[in-house]
Amino acid sequence: MAGGFPFEGDAELVGDDDFRKAFGEDLSATLDLDTWSQGLDIEGVMDRFRSEIAGAVDKEGRARTIIRSEVFPLIANRPGAPKKAGVYQTTAEELEIIHNGLLFTGKVEAVHGSTTNHESLPLGITQLGIALVGYGGTSGTFSQRLFRKEMAQQSASPVQDALDCIFSRTRRSAGPRQDTLSKLARRGIRTYAERAVLVEKASAEWRIGHGNPCAFELLSGSGYRSLLVASLKVLRQLVQRHQKFVFVTSEMEERGFLTLGHALRAGEYAIIETLERFGERVVNRWEYEGDNSRLAQSFVEECCPDIVCGVFRASERTPPRAFYAHRAHVDFAVRVALADSILRPERGFPMLLDVAETACRSAYGEDGFLGLVHDAYAQAGAHLEYFTDRIKSR
């Protein structure tokens, strides 16, 4: 339940039967162009949207009632549930104390990163940026740039190098797995850097991060031993030494958590499980090389039981949010996240994370990156001839 695996969403529907169960119609009917609408029938589209959305919302509402009355009482008694598993309510007074005693006095810092990528035939450029912020301002920004070069600079056999380059690019274009792993590695480096900045550069008592602290790309190393070793070292420091952290997700990765979360009232939170089961899934499903599996397994057994995960809701008008915190400080940690989230009730998400993302994009965003890339190509006399792909930023 805790955390998601990259590209799993594409693998959830396998076979015609799964498609029929998910969408209520045969795939063959969907593929039949005679069943498609011609032109843009706004009224028909809106009628279908209203009908489908109303039905889905009604079902979720009925599920919410059942979850509150029947499922919530079971959370604390689930096999393997952490000691504090259950549903809890915060108070306005508690959150106000955190506002005045921690958030607005600079005792909480948050980190967010971005990755901007440019791909062309002669060169691939990846820019990674990280911003660390508190309510006193930006504490620091950090960046790294990677340059992928496929043509050798100097060689005794230029013709063979050119042929090798052609064959290499052909294989890479035909095999999506290599591109997928490349994207996973880029995301892994950025995810590692966010946690490393929280551990090594932040000075505040409490620290807020984005996503699952022990993300898939870190526990797997994204296929790179150096990234795995560095990630496990930083995560051990975070879990065993610092402990006062809370990570909050913004995407729909933990759908089981979010289903429970929609049954929460404003200011409530649920502690559900530890990260041990998620860690075991990663270790069992990823194909490690050498003794990397042993390194990851050791970390999962040693640290994942100390990280609990759950869901909170800042407002009934906004989505619930999955969170991760150390078991020794979980009740206070989720209150830090809630206190920061109610500062923007229309979003219900920690405001410091949004501030960190804005600061990061301001310093290392797509526009500035694209300008530098264009200028460098122009200085090299290439201008726009290699700009076949758009800049990708995340």
* Residue 270, token pair as written in the block: 């649920």
Q: Residue for token digits 């758009």?
A: 390
Q: Which residue ranges make up each domain of the chain?
A: 76-155+186-378
- Could you read off the pLDDT of 273-295 as tens digits, one per residue? 999 999 999 999 999 999 999 99
d(CA 191, CA 211): 9
pLDDT at residue 63, rounded to an integer: 82
pLDDT at 311 over 50: yes
pLDDT of residue 183: 75
Given a cut of 60, whether residue 19 has pLDDT beyond it is: yes
Question: 122, 117, 146: which is closest to 227 by C-alpha?
Answer: 146
The residue-averaged pLDDT of 32-39 equals: 82
Residue 150: predicted pLDDT: 58
Tell me what pLDDT residue 30 has. Answer: 87
Average pLDDT for residues 343-356, to the nearest whole number?
94
Mean pLDDT throughout 110-133? 86
Q: Is the pLDDT of residue 386 over 80?
A: no
Question: Residue 388 has what pLDDT?
Answer: 58
pLDDT (0 to 100) of residue 113: 94
Question: What pLDDT was estimated at residue 172?
Answer: 56
Which region among 20-34, 92-106, 298-312 has the lowest average model confidence (pLDDT)?
20-34
Predicted TM-score (pTM) of this structure: 0.82
Residues in Cβ contact with 19 at an 8 Å cutoff, skipping those fewer than 6 apart = 13, 26, 27, 30
CATH of the domain spanning 76-155+186-378: 3.30.2170
For the chain, the straight-line distance linking the first and the last C-alpha, in angstroms and rounded, comes to 25
- The fraction of the chain above a pLDDT of 90, given in percent, is 50
Torsion sign, CA atoms 68, 329, 94, 322:
negative
Residue type, 257: F
Task: Please tell me the predicted confidence (pLDDT) of residue 65.
Answer: 87
pLDDT value of residue 141:
94
Q: Is the pLDDT of residue 2 over 60?
A: no
Residue 10 has pLDDT above 70, yes or no: no
Q: Which has more confidence, 251 or 388?
A: 251
Model pLDDT for residues 175-196, shown as the tens digit of each residue: 544 444 467 788 899 999 999 9
Is the model's pLDDT at 307 over the cut of 60?
Answer: yes
Using the predicted structure, report yes or no on whether residue 119 has a pLDDT greater than 80.
no
Nearest to 227 by CA among 190, 281, 198: 190
What band does 52 get if pLDDT is binned at 50, 70 and 90?
confident
CA quadruple 232, 234, 238, 239: dihedral, nearest 10: 20
Choose the weakest-confidence range: 34-38, 99-103, 163-167: 163-167
> Buried b / exposed e across 353-390, counting CB within 10 Å, b at 16+?
bbbbbebbbebbbbeebbeebbeebeeeeeeeebeeee
Distance (Å, whole) CA 175 – CA 181 = 11
Highest mean pLDDT: which of 16-30, 114-128, 250-264, 309-323? 309-323
d(C-alpha 314, C-alpha 348), whole Å:
5
Give the 3-state secondary structure of 92-154: HHHHHHHHHHCHHHCCEEEEEEEEEEEECCCEEEEEEEEEEEECCEEEEEEEEEEEEECCCCC
Give me the DSSP letters along 310-365. Answer: EEE-S-TTS--EEEEEETTTHHHHHHHHHHHHTTSTTT-S-HHHHHHHHHHHHHH-
